[in-house]
A and B are shown apart, each in its own frame.
Chain A
Amino acid sequence: MTLDDRSLREHLDRRAVAGVTDVEQIAEVVMTRVAATASGPWWRRIGVRGPSLGVAAAGIAVLILALAVLPPSIWNGPGTSPTPSAERAAGYPATRALTAEELDAVLGSDPSARAGTVVIADVTLEVLRVVCLGTACPRYLIDLGDREIYVFDSDPPDPIVGSPYAFRVTDHPGGRLELLGSVRPGPDGLAWTLPQLTAALVDLKGPGARPVPYLYLVDAWRAVSTTQYRCRAGFSGVFGCGSGVAWLVADEATVSSNSAPPGSLRIPNAAGDSPGAGDPQHGYWLVDPFVAQEDCFLCPPAGAADLLGRVLTLDELGVTLPAPRPSATAGAPTPTPIDPQTAAVEIGFSTGSMALDGFETSDVTVSITFPAGLRPDPGADPSLAPIVVLERGAGDTGDPTDPHIPQLVRAMAPTPDAGQWTATYRLTSGDRGIWRVGGVVAYDIEGHELVIDPAISDTSPTLEVLGTHVPDLTVLLDPYPVEVGRALEVSGRVTDQDSGDPIGDVIVTVGSGAACAPGGIGTTVRTNENGDYAFMIPEADGTTVCAWISGEPGVYPSFDVDVPIALYAAVFAEPTN
């Protein structure tokens, strides 16, 4: 069936104008987010998936950024002030999220001891490449360099969330943290005063506002009414009548028995937990506000909010922070931004194209020559070596089943040539597409950051990888749903993507849990002449199961021996009884 140009355009026009979205609302949301965001290089702000060096790049950027903008003293967290009030609203203390190191310290060696604790951290979440068929799945990874923190979530990654994130510590086998959501900072810091939040909620959550899945940290008192309200029809549930009707209020105040406190935010009725009725409690509360429901009893104008927990201070948690990392930039003068117009660099690939068939691999070297006066220091702290990011752009198939990583990150090494640094990548047929240098993070001899974005300024040459007969992998689980404690068969087939023919004698690695993240170690099996493989797990546990095509270092898989070529599918097994 062939569609003529006119019909094609008509269909595309119909798709473009269909729907009910008000683009002005999108503009409002964009500008709200812009207001909380400084413009600047993108690689500081998004997660870089892939090899550990990618995380190192992000970590270095975050570390340097932190040194530049954060106060030198360790923050003791919110909640240290004894009297929340309107007086403090004016001189509100700056608050911030935990760093990755602080988050790790909170978890300690036994996260179960902290189970239920709510924390907010400014970290990079790497999305795990899993197909999760369960209800609570390991979705993300926080890479700390020498160890990882797994984060699970009941929902797929939300497209518009960003750091900082709120987590609940858990002893769930799928991860040490549960992602609660993204936290929207207040106008004066991470936390909002209650007057600030209630005033803003009309725009943020009111009728006509676009639902935005942000959480909010609010400095307030939790007040629970001592009155036993007589119920009328229509007021049932956690926001209904009865006992324990509760609000967040701005000041420690007496709660009226027959109306919502002025300026308050309704929260779920207390269910016998601390504090009890008549026992106001001050704290920094993590809330998820929403438009008041019809069955919200004694609801104030600002509406209601789910109360996700009280965020404790580090002092309250009794956390001992690790010693700060030594840094070459410690004590250095504040870096001066470099005009991007002057930060032009010469970028080159060792080849402009390569053809890879099946399991073939090939190395490519990218070189960057920095101009005199803007040269990184080869003798500086190795952690400050230039970082180069290769991006697969237009050549990316856009196929959501494509398991190959679209960004490759490397720390560069100096060469004998003045100002020239290089990095080498190993590519496979699965890396087919157009690659270019998408980012460079570097510092000159004086510690000034070089602001370079070759992908946008079009200074990068391209590398075209022509991949054919890319191996493909399927994964099946039997039984499914997986029954914890019983035998589980993991099976599948390796085929040629181009011909569909099965490929025999291929090493497939089957793993579970941490093995499903980059660098994981699993058990290997070989496919038979029909391309089929099977692996029996005697007793399935409650962790992720995954499989990928593996091979000999230097031959297959691709750029890193610890990065699978086709981490294809995984499930989270749950107890069936």
Chain B
Amino acid sequence: MEGPLERELIEQARRGDRAAYEQIVRRKVETVYRTARAILGNDADADDATQEALIGAWRRLPSLRDPDRFDAWLGRITVNACRMALRRRRGPALVALPNESAHELAETHGPGFEHRAVTADAFDRAFDHLPVEQRAILVLHHRDELPIAEVAARLGVPEGTVKSRLSAARAALDRALAREGLR
């Protein structure tokens, strides 16, 4: 956000002004939904996560200390809502993704394996294998183009942790894509 007008809206909403919060919702719903959609990969979960994030933000607003950090704060709530949406939607999977490296798979399956195009379906299946935390960090940094510091603020972790987790997430995605390439 957070121009003077939006800051005023946030202040009003913090005091329980529903009309002010409605204006905030209408300004933010698209952003929240797109982030949730990218993380979760389907309409139903993204719908639910968006609703829960915006309802949760309303409930928590009185405790928001710094209106200038509203976007980061809402982003954090959105990621949490995505996590909860996924947990509610799915039962525990019984088979974990093997921790094979792309390199190992390439060795096993010969040259050219790494150069196959990544189809949308294969990408989605691979991406959906990642934990929400890894999906979120990839979406926030690579799609929303947030700098590391902002990603750290939204996830509530130190910048160094974001960097290491970003690397881990990319590696996990590569491994998952490699497995998709076997199909």
Contact = CB atoms under 8 A, between A and B. Distances in A.
A159 B83 CA distance: 12
A42 B133 contact: no
Interface size class of B (residues with CB under 8 A): 35 or more
Given A1-B102, A27-B25, A340-B62, A8 B138 contact: yes
Contact of B143 (A9, A34, A160, A397): A9
Which of B35, B90, B92 lies at the interface centre, i.e. has the most chain A CB atoms within 10 A of its CB? B92
A432 to B, nearest CB: 12
A382 B153 CA distance: 37
B143 A37 contact: no
A26 B50 contact: yes
B181 interface: yes
A73 interface: no
Contacts of A332: none
Contacts, number: 207
A558 B134 CA distance: 26
A12 B145 CA distance: 11
Interface size class of A (residues with CB under 8 A): 35 or more
Interface string A371-405: 00000000000000000000001111111110100
Contacts of B62: 39-41, 340, 451
Contact of A37 (B30, B58, B136, B174): B58
B120 interface: yes
A45 interface: yes
A441 B83 CA distance: 25
Nearest to B82: A398
B-side binding surface: helix, strand, loop or mixed?
helix
A37 B59 contact: yes
A474 B92 CA distance: 11
Contact of B55 (A37, A395, A455): A37
B82 to A, nearest CB: 9
Given A3-B118, A26-B51, A159 B60 contact: no
Interface string B68-108: 00000100000010011111111111101000001001100
B63 A451 contact: yes
A1 B174 CA distance: 6
A88 interface: no
A127 to B, nearest CB: 8
B172 to A, nearest CB: 11
Interface of B: 13-14, 16, 18, 21-22, 25-26, 29-30, 33-35, 37-38, 41-43, 45-48, 50-52, 54-56, 58-65, 73, 80, 83-94, 96, 102, 105-106, 113-114, 116, 118, 120, 123-124, 127, 131-136, 138-139, 142-143, 145, 155-157, 161, 173-174, 177-178, 181
7 residue pairs, one from A and one from B, having the closest CB atoms: A398-B132, A453-B63, A398-B131, A12-B143, A16-B38, A19-B43, A159-B48
19 contacts: A1-B116, A2-B102, A12-B143, A16-B139, A17-B34, A19-B46, A21-B33, A26-B47, A31-B25, A42-B56, A127-B88, A156-B91, A159-B85, A210-B47, A340-B63, A394-B155, A397-B131, A434-B161, A456-B60
